[in-house]
Amino acid sequence: NAGVTQTPKFQVLKTGQSMTLQCAQDMNHNSMYWYRQDPGMGLRLIYYSASEGTTDKGEVPNGYNVSRLNKREFSLRLESAAPSQTSVYFCASGQGASGTSTDTQYFGPGTRLTVL
- Say if residues 13 and 19 touch (Cβ distance below 8 Å): yes
Tell me the three state secondary structure of residue 89.
Answer: strand
Using the rule CB under 8 A, is 100 a contact of another protein?
A: yes
Angle at 91 between CA 112 and CA 60, to 5 degrees: 80
Q: Of the candidates 1, 10, 14, 40, which one interacts with another protein according to CB under 8 A? A: 40
State residue 101 phi and psi, 5-degree precision: -65, -15
Specify the stretch interacting with another protein by CB under 8 A; choose among 14-22, 44-52, 64-72, 75-83. 44-52
DSSP 8-class letter at 51: S
Using the rule CB under 8 A, is 53 a contact of another protein?
A: no
Measured from the CB of residue 80, what is the shortest distance to another protein in angstroms? 27
Question: Applying CB under 8 A, which residues contact another protein?
Answer: 31, 33, 40-43, 45, 48, 50, 56, 58, 90, 94-110, 112
